[in-house]
Amino acid sequence: MSEKNPEYDFLWCPGCGDFGVRRAMEFAMEELNIKTERPMTSNVVVAGIGCSGNTVHLLEGEQPYGFHGIHGRSLPVAMGIKMSNPELNVVTVAGDGDFLSIGMEHIAPQAARNLNICAVIMDNGVYGLTKGQASPTTTHDTVTSSTPFGKIENPVNPLELYLTLGVTYIASGYSSKPKDLANLILRGMEHPGFSIVHVASPCTTYNDTYTQLKGSAKLNIAPTAWTIPANHDASDRKAARAIIEEGGVPVGVVYEDNSRPSFDAQFETIRANNKQKSNDAQLAVFDL
């Protein structure tokens, strides 16, 4: 149920990390609207398929445009929208399965283009919506409904992947800190190029990792989430790699490269320098 639509009947499970990500998305878009003096309707949220994608229906308050498409394809839909109208703020929301399994093929081309869109990934290490199968980030040996004898495959390291592919803004966040997360998302939206905010967003039903993320003195578990120190130079690729190799869930901006021109900027120049011929002139090429 949402405020705007009482008939909408999808509910996240109590404690689901996606609540926090939704809140962060709302903060970030509101903040961006204030800064850019643009209306909420200049934002487009493109959703993947999964519990995470349902964020687009659950946003409260003033509504942005939304696009809820098919599994794994949030990036190309976002690309079509952004290239059509560079003025829009285009953000995608998708899960680890949507983005890193079926949609994996779309990350490299977007990184190569450096198109100015922002992807917010809600990583719960599991396929939530389909009820608990293994995802690319499910750890080795884990028993899930689709890996009853333990997962044989190695998990992917998303941050390492993004860095290798040349994504120009990589942030890592945690759903329980929506205000901090909102800042990471806002900075991603403002980054002139392709940005990914990868969020640890636990699935309370199929893969509850809150204890590990927060740690527990009682159970003698050290927290996996840790804050990236303020003196980290995000423009330094080597330093970024070191942060990633530290392991766990770093919270903050891992990498930001503002030196590479965005697709948008380069395209703008090309379009300005190459005017379209009139239809009459194009047809005349074929005159007999």
Partner 1 sequence: MAGRSEIVVRFAGEGGQGVVTAAEMLARAATGVGYHALTFATFPSQILGGPTWTQARVSRVPISSPGDSVDILVAFNDYAYQEHRSDVRDGGVILLDPSATPDPADTAHRCITVPFDALAKETGEARAANMVVMGGLSKLINMPLQFFKDFVSIRFAARESVVTANHKALDLGLNHLAAEESVSDLGSPIKPDYPQSFIKGNEAVSLGAMHAGIESYIGYPISPATPILVYMEKNLTGEGKVAVQASSEIESITAIIGAGFAGKKTMTATSGPGFTLMQEGIGLAWMAEIPIVVVDVQRGGPATGLPTKTEQSDLLTAIYPAHGDSRMPVIAPGTVEECFYGSVMAFNWAERYQGPVMLLSEHSLAERAQNIRKPDLANVPVEERVRYTGNNDYLRYESHELSPFSSPGGPGAYIANGSEHDVYGDTTHLGKYHIHMTERRFSKLKLLEDGDYEAENSNAKIAVMPWGGSKGSVREALDLLLAAGLDLGWYYTMFVSPLPAKMLAELQSKDLVIVPELNFQGQMALNLRSLGVKAEAITQYTGLPFGPGDLAGRIKQLLSGIGQSTGAVKA
Ligand X SMILES: Cc1ncc(C[n+]2csc(CCOP(=O)(O)OP(=O)(O)O)c2C)c(N)n1
Residues lying near ligand X in the complex (CB under 6 A) are found at 48-52, 71, 95-98, 122, 124, 126-130, 135
- At closest approach, how far in Å is the CB of 222 from ligand SF4? 24
Closest to 189 (Cα-Cα) out of 171, 173, 164: 171
Joined together, the tokens standing for residue 285 give 């090429």
Q: Which residues pair with 160 in a beta bridge?
A: none
Q: Which option in ligand SF4, Mg ion, partner 1, none does residue 16 bind, with CB closer than 5 to 8 A by kind?
A: ligand SF4
Closer to ligand SF4 by Cβ: residue 127 or 169: 127
Nearest distance in Å: CB 102, partner 1: 10
Least distance CB 171 / ligand SF4 (angstroms) = 21
Q: Please, which residue, 8 or 35, has the CB nearer to partner 1?
A: 8
Binding residue (CB under 6 A) for ligand SF4 from 203, 213, 240, 254? 203
Residue of 218, 214, 237 lying closest to 226 (CA atoms): 214
Return the structure tokens found at 232.
């980290």
Q: Select from ligand X, partner 1, ligand SF4, none the partner in contact with residue 145, using the beta carbon and a kind-dependent cut-off of 5 to 8 Å.
A: none
Which amino acid is present at 206? Y
Q: Is 124 in the site for ligand SF4 (CB under 6 A)?
A: yes
Among the listed residues 264, 234, 220, 245, the one whose alpha carbon sits nearest the alpha carbon of residue 82: 264
81 in Cβ contact with 69 (< 8 Å): no
What do you get for the CA distance between the two ends of the chain, in Å? 64
206 binds, among Mg ion, partner 1, ligand SF4, none (CB under 5 to 8 A by kind): ligand SF4
Residue 175 within binding range of Mg ion, rule CB under 5 A: no
On whether the CB atoms of residues 68 and 47 are closer than 8 A, the answer is yes
Is 47 one of the binding residues for ligand SF4 (CB under 6 A)?
A: no
